Structure 1
Amino acid sequence: MLDETLLDDPDALQAADRDGALRVLATAGAQVRAALAEEHALDRVADDGRPRTVLVAGLGGSAVVGEVVAALAGEHSSVPVQRRRGGPLPGWVGSLDLVIAVSMSGRAPEPLRIAGEAARRGARLVSVCRDGSPLADVTRRARGTLLTVPRTGVPGAPPPGSRTGLWSLLAPVLLACDAADVLEVDHAELAGAADRLDDEAEACRPSSESFVNPAKLLAAELDGSVPVVLSDGDAAQGAAARAVSMLHVTARVPAVRGTLPDDAGDVVALFDGAFRPADDDVFADPFVDGPARPTLRLLLLADQAGEHRAPADRAGPVLEVAQHAGVRVSELAADPGRPVEKLAQLVARTDFAATYLALGSGLDPSRSPHLADLREVWAERG
């Protein structure tokens, strides 16, 4: 059960958040502005012109960057955008293609391997990583474009990791895609996204009480549930990928996601499955009967609020069926704006909510012992 008294105690929150995840998330706007200051490094990417395809490679917390870029590209980009978590570089990648390798530390094995293979094939290479890392060295030897991530974050806040430093990785990749004429994401749009990230950090700050803090409210709604994250729109699709990743790794909550209209049938089919809503029993005693089993919670992320959606409303029928089935719904719609601005608003809200959900459940949002074990096994096997 979520400890809401802890969520309303800033000192207790700070003590529980040992690595300062909330403070780092609050620097997301500053992460975007730091990337904008390095925009001049992309001149060569622009000079090389539009590639045939783009492949974004990332592992772990960096992998969601490729998911977000592919979602933003949607059906509007004339250049296919693919993402890759691991495995060999696809055979079709050659000198006409752009490979973007993303790794906060610059040491993740899969992006490093893919970058090296891309260099051998003569593909265009852009890397986003820390300077002095193996990935930075590979990029320089290949005469690719290196976009460096600062080793230190905002003064007073801990340095970001690949999970809390999403915008340190995503903003440079978006700028690279704009320079390559793959996406239209200009300086003004990213500056607007930084402003929205600042606004969300203020609204979701630890000192804001639960009844007015939108992220704490969302954490309370998700508590004890199996979230099904459904996205409506390209920006929402990218935000949904990030939300599920944060729910898994930060809050340790199993979650699934789908996209409208393609996955509407798969989602509503869950409404009468094993996690269907339970009949409310006012006489139920959790000490005698055991804790209530988790039930589905539909989390709808939308590019636009319901009153602004197109006449062919894709979410309306799903929400209607959910209401009939007794499935509770949390709906989060972005304010009007450009795609990356909407993405920023949705991502920030769910980032803070997942972190509050972890802290309120007695979990460290920054450290998972089993994830650490998995990394050790990966390291041992090379």
Structure 2
Amino acid sequence: MAPHIDDALLDDPDELLRKDSRQTLRALATAGAQVRESVSLAEEAGIDRLARLDRPRSVLVAALGGSALVAEVLELLAEPGSPVPVQARRNLPLPGWVGPLDLVVAVSLSGRAPGPVGIAAEAARRGASLLTVGADDSPLAEVCRRARGTHIGVGRGRTSSRTSLWSLLTPVLLGAHTLGLVDTPREQMRQVADRLDEAAEAYRPASESFVNPAKLLALQLAETVPMVLGDGPLSGVAAARASSMLARTARMPAPWGELPDAASQIVACFDGPYTARGGHRPGTYDAGRIRLGDIDTSGWEPHHFAEPEGDLAERPRGAGGRDIFADPFLDGPSLPQLGLLTLRDAAPEPPTRESVEVEALTDAVLATAREAGVRVMDVSAQPGRPLTRLAELVTTVDFTATYLALGLGLDPAVSPHVADLNDRTR
């Protein structure tokens, strides 16, 4: 059965804030402010000094956990025009080719994550240039200072990398822009901040669910076993973020994919046990029929049987092919419905051949999903520069996952099992 979500709680801002022990919603709402503060902190830290360096042979970004999206975004934005390769790394060992001609970017909110700190230390030992982002009073900052690199702090009040994304990402993008790897000048970062502010206003706790897209999406996702699909590279990064946030914040596993490669992988799931027309699952019947000979009827009384036509009994179905007369005691509890959350990038103007093909493939996947009884949810970015479009999709899924957690009675910031795991691995 699908989990119960308390829709009344989602429309009670006082109760939302009370259950949100570490003010996750409020932290997400500061995304625009994080961008502006990080621009100032980067300037104060001397980010422009990077312009005096020779262009690096390559850039390696070390980030993990909630910070991993920083590397994915830089890879995404650098790929079309960067004159040097950009690669992501989560942990040691540092690749053997990294040396004095390369730049290593290490990101950790606390400045204590073993992977980024270890990579930064090894890169410094080999003479590579360093750009680090994290707490000022931390091992990561110390490694960077000893190597005469550039360290940028994250400001005060940042307690979770999941809610401090823009404090971590902004300095990295400014540094990459200074080196000529991406086109993200300060003026564009301020436009991103404005878009994030608009989203925070639309998704605020006081906004009722019927006009709040994040709350509405949370209510829809709660009734499904969700999958997330991006329609291209940019929305694919957002889909990976959605999968991570749904798992870590809402405790709901959600596999993700990116078109065109993931089309078959996603569509194959429509044949599985979570769709009424696919698989053999409790509470549903193949093609609307059940063969009485396939069921153990020992101990049943005659009144348990409907009057079949021969050995087949037709069962009425509701929306999505569900059996509206399924008995949870005889048929077993019904499984939740498969859900497909599609994140779509804004179409370019004028359309290109590639964008037309992507749109046609996406529409074909959604049509197949609806025919199979999958619940389809569609989120599209508004036109704008790539980083602005990505920011809109990311903040939507961040707020959605948080509202979903709260509606399910979960604290979005505190997981007892994660705490147990940390205790057992210390």
Question: For the superposition of Structure 1 and Structure 2, which TM-score range results when normalised by the shorter chain?
Answer: over 0.9
| Amino acid corresponding to residue 29 of structure 1 in structure 2 | G
Aligned-partner Cα distance in 2 for 1:61–1:375:
16
Aligned partner of 1:293 in structure 2 is: 335
Q: Which moved more, 1:360-369 or 1:293-302?
A: 293-302
Aligned-partner Cα distance in 1 for 2:208–2:95:
49
Name the CA shift for 1:114/1:377 in 2 (closer, same or farther; >3 Å): farther
Quick check: 1:33 aligned with 2:33?
Answer: no
Contact 1:74–1:234 (CA under 8 A) maintained in structure 2:
no
Which one of the candidate residues 304, 309, 325 is aligned to 1:283? 325
Q: Which moved more, 1:266-275 or 1:165-174?
A: 266-275
| Amino acid corresponding to residue 337 of structure 2 in structure 1 | T
Aligned-partner Cα distance in 2 for 1:22–1:288:
43
Aligned partner of 1:360 in structure 2 is: 407
Aligned-partner Cα distance in 2 for 1:6–1:182:
46
Aligned partner of 1:156 in structure 2 is: none
Counterparts of 1:259-274 in structure 2, within 5 Å, are 259-274=258-273
Aligned partner of 2:299 in structure 1 is: none
Quick check: 1:146 aligned with 2:151?
Answer: yes
Aligned-partner Cα distance in 1 for 2:347–2:17:
34
Aligned partner of 1:124 in structure 2 is: 129
Contact 2:61–2:105 (CA under 8 A) maintained in structure 1:
yes
1:152-209 Cα offsets, whole Å, 9 max, x none, are: 3xxxxxx442111111111111111111211111112211111111111100110111
Q: CA deviation at 1:284?
A: 4.2
Note the aligned Cα RMSD (angstroms). Answer: 2.0
Aligned partner of 2:288 in structure 1 is: none
Structure 1: state its 5+ residue gaps.
153-158
Which one of the candidate residues 17, 29, 47 is aligned to 2:52? 47
1:95-124 Cα offsets, whole Å, 9 max, x none, are: 222111110010111111011001011111
Q: CA deviation at 1:305?
A: 5.4
| Amino acid corresponding to residue 47 of structure 1 in structure 2 | R
Q: Which moved more, 1:203-212 or 1:278-287?
A: 278-287
1:303-326 Cα offsets, whole Å, 9 max, x none, are: 115998632234222222222222
| Amino acid corresponding to residue 395 of structure 2 in structure 1 | A
Aligned-partner Cα distance in 1 for 2:398–2:11:
18
| Amino acid corresponding to residue 303 of structure 1 in structure 2 | D
Name the CA shift for 1:214/1:44 in 2 (closer, same or farther; >3 Å): same
Name the CA shift for 1:255/1:324 in 2 (closer, same or farther; >3 Å): same
Contact 1:24–1:160 (CA under 8 A) maintained in structure 2:
no
Counterparts of 1:1-382 in structure 2, within 5 Å, are 1-40=4-43, 41-152=46-157, 159-277=158-276, 279-284=321-326, 291-304=333-346, 310-312=355-357, 313=359, 314-378=361-425, 380=426
Which secondary structure does the structure 1 equivalent of 2:356 belong to? coil
Q: Which moved more, 1:232-241 or 1:333-342?
A: 232-241
TM-score (norm 2): 0.83
Contact 1:26–1:201 (CA under 8 A) maintained in structure 2:
yes
Q: CA deviation at 1:77?
A: 2.9
Name the CA shift for 1:97/1:217 in 2 (closer, same or farther; >3 Å): same
Structure 2: state its 5+ residue gaps.
277-283, 285-320
Name the CA shift for 1:80/1:306 in 2 (closer, same or farther; >3 Å): closer
Aligned residues: 373
Aligned-partner Cα distance in 1 for 2:350–2:381:
11
Q: Which has the larger radius of gyration?
A: 2
Q: Which moved more, 1:179-188 or 1:213-222?
A: 179-188
Q: CA deviation at 1:335?
A: 0.6
Contact 1:104–1:162 (CA under 8 A) maintained in structure 2:
yes
Name the CA shift for 1:290/1:5 in 2 (closer, same or farther; >3 Å): farther
Aligned-partner Cα distance in 2 for 1:321–1:76:
36
1:267-299 Cα offsets, whole Å, 9 max, x none, are: 111111233346313234668866532332111
Q: Which moved more, 1:343-352 or 1:66-75?
A: 66-75
Aligned-partner Cα distance in 2 for 1:14–1:133:
31
Contact 1:72–1:234 (CA under 8 A) maintained in structure 2:
no
Name the CA shift for 1:136/1:287 in 2 (closer, same or farther; >3 Å): farther
Which secondary structure does the structure 1 equivalent of 2:256 belong to? strand
TM-score (norm 1): 0.92
Aligned-partner Cα distance in 2 for 1:287–1:209:
37
